[in-house]
Every structure is written in C-alpha cells, then in structure tokens.
C-alpha cells in the first residue's frame, strides 16, 4: 500500500493564499460604500429593501399568546381595512422603547402582535407591564413564521392592506414621525 501525500500544486497554493485577500477587499469595498452613503446622508441601516412589499402575507397559522387571540394568514387576507402587524419580544430593549408609541397608535389603527421566540409567560407579562396595544396576539415560539415574513430581528412591523397584502415594512422601532409621515397617510389611503 502506497499512501503518499502529494502537496498542493503551486497554482492551488496561490489561490488559497489569495482567498483571504479577496474577502478582505470585498469587505473593504462594502465598508467604503456604507461610509460614503453616510457622508451623503443616504445610508439608512434600517432600510432593508424588503422583497415582500406589495405581496400577500405568507401562509401561516399561529397559536394564541393570550386566550382567543391567535391568528393566521386567512385572518389577514379577510381584512377590509389595514392593520399593523408588529413582531415583538419581552427580551427586546427597542420593543420596550416603542410601546408608548404603539399604545397611542392603537386608537387610530388596529395593531396585531406576534411574540417572537418568547416564553408565553414572559410575553404576557411584558404587555401587561408596558400596556397592551394589541387587538390580537399570536405566538411564534420557534421563529419559523418570522423567517417566511423575512423578519431579521425585533421589533419589526408590517402594514397589511385589505386582502392581506404587505404595503409597508420597517425593521426599527415605530416612532411618532413614522406614524405622522408614513404609516397613517398610507393606512388612510388603503381604507375603502
């Protein structure tokens, strides 16, 4: 038995040595583009260019987080007026920060919450302490539904138009400015 080890060819060795340089160069170009965008004022780290916009909500059915409040894609597709769907978690600090704004918004636009990868008792305790802005609350305990929605973290919010079509999306906490300048004008335009 002849178990001889053959060293890599010189061409392969050069390619292996160049790979880290190519990766570092690509990262450098991406970082430079981000810095250039920031200096021009055009870089928004929360602008994720969601491919789900103007598409129907994905198929899902989530159990109740609180008794009688779970919901599904069918519930959203049956809507005749817009609703805000907000992914949140008790362990999420930005979620805590946006709760006062959501509690004000709930009187103008229905908000349905989805507790993301959270223990039921923690999520319920969170909304009891912070004030509950949600008309319905479902539980996405394993986070699989969030993947179908394209959620990258919490909080994340979607404006769902009649028929269950995603009309707006943000991957940042809701602010009063968003409500006044984007959410309510768009929601008002979607009311039939």
Residues 85 and 118 grouped into a single domain: yes
Domain of 147, CATH number, reads 3.40.30.10
Express as a percent the part of the chain with pLDDT over 70: 86
Domain containing 34 equals: 7-43
At residue 61, the pLDDT reads 94
At residue 132, the pLDDT reads 93
Residues 35 and 77 grouped into a single domain: no
pLDDT tens per residue across span 37-94: 666 665 555 555 555 788 999 999 999 876 668 899 999 999 999 999 999 999 999 9
Please indicate, yes or no, if residue 133 is contained in any of the structural domains. yes
Please indicate, yes or no, if residue 149 is contained in any of the structural domains. yes
- DSSP 8-state assignment for residue 150: T
Residues 95 and 178 grouped into a single domain: yes
Q: What average pLDDT does this structure show over 171-178?
A: 94
At residue 18, the pLDDT reads 75
Please indicate, yes or no, if residue 1 is contained in any of the structural domains. no
SS3 for 54? coil
- DSSP 8-state assignment for residue 134: -
Residues 33 and 101 grouped into a single domain: no
Please indicate, yes or no, if residue 49 is contained in any of the structural domains. no
Residues 38 and 74 grouped into a single domain: no
Residues 82 and 126 grouped into a single domain: yes
Confidence of residue 8 (pLDDT cuts 50, 70, 90): confident
Domain count, the chain: 2
**How wide is the angle at C-alpha 62 spanned by C-alphas 150 and 51, nearest 5°?**
15
Residues recorded for the chain: 192
**How wide is the angle at C-alpha 131 spanned by C-alphas 125 and 134, nearest 5°?**
90
The model's pTM: 0.74
């Amino acid at each position: 038995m002849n178990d001889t080890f053959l060293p890599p060819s010189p061409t392969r060795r050069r390619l292996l040595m160049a790979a880290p340089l190519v990766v570092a160069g690509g990262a450098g170009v991406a970082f430079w583009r981000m810095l250039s965008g920031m200096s021009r004022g055009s870089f928004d780290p929360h602008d994720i260019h969601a491919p789900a916009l103007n598409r129907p909500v994905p198929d899902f059915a989530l159990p109740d987080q609180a008794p009688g409040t779970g919901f599904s894609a069918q519930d959203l597709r049956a809507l005749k007026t817009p609703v805000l769907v907000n992914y949140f978690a008790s362990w999420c600090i930005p979620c805590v920060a946006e709760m006062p704004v959501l509690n004000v918004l709930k009187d103008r636009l229905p908000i349905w919450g989805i507790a993301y990868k959270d223990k039921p008792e923690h999520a319920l305790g969170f909304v009891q302490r912070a004030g509950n802005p949600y008309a319905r609350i479902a539980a996405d305990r394993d986070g699989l539904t969030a993947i179908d929605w394209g959620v990258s973290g919490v909080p994340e919010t979607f404006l769902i138009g009649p028929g269950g079509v995603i009309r707006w999306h943000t991957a940042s906490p809701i602010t009063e400015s968003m409500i006044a300048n984007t959410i309510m004008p768009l929601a008002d335009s979607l009311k039939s």
